[in-house]
């Protein structure tokens, strides 16, 4: 059984800060945990805009706090993000997230991350 706390992940390889700490990701599960996916808790400050393209991973997100906008970059279609909304990037979709308020998102990645990854210039993580 694996049991971890949000506070216990602070300052470890399971924590990644973006934009000088205005967005923080704490990854509860990594590849080394052997469960086949990564589970993360992401917290964005208000007004954050992040362009992403997970070419090597499938990602699903569930909004539990705050509001924002999800933009599909290839089509320009936008979606309102608020508590209770889930979106899955099942086709490695290029997208942008803009937080209107502080946001908290629970995220699942497959294949799992190793820990310590940061986004490259295209907003992606490296393959395996």
What's the pLDDT tens digit per position in 77-113? Answer: 999 999 999 999 999 899 999 999 999 999 999 999 8
Q: Please name each of the domains of the chain with its CATH number.
A: 27-110 (2.60.120.10)
Tokens of 34: 């052997």
Confidence (pTM) = 0.88
Listed range (70-79, 86-95, 113-122) with the worst mean pLDDT: 113-122
Give Cβ neighbours of residue 82 (< 8 Å, ≥ 6 apart): 63, 66, 67
Query: Does 5 have pLDDT greater than 80?
Result: yes
Q: What is the mean pLDDT of the chain?
A: 89
How many other C-beta atoms lie within 10 A of the C-beta of residue 114? 15
Task: Indicate the Cα dihedral angle 30, 84, 102, 33, nearest 10°.
Answer: -10
């Amino acid at each position: 059984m694996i049991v971890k706390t949000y506070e216990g992940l602070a300052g470890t390889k399971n924590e990644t800060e973006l934009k000088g700490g205005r967005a923080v990701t704490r990854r509860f599960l990594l590849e080394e945990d052997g469960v086949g996916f990564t589970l993360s808790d992401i917290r964005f400050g208000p007004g954050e805009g992040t362009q992403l393209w997970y070419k090597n991973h499938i990602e699903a997100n569930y909004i539990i706090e705050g509001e924002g906008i999800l933009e599909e970059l290839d089509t320009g279609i936008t979606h309102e993000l608020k508590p209770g909304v889930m979106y899955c990037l099942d086709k490695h979709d290029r997208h942008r997230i803009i937080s209107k308020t502080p946001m908290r998102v629970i995220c699942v990645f497959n294949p799992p991350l190793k820990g310590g990854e940061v986004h490259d210039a295209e907003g992606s993580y490296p393959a395996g």
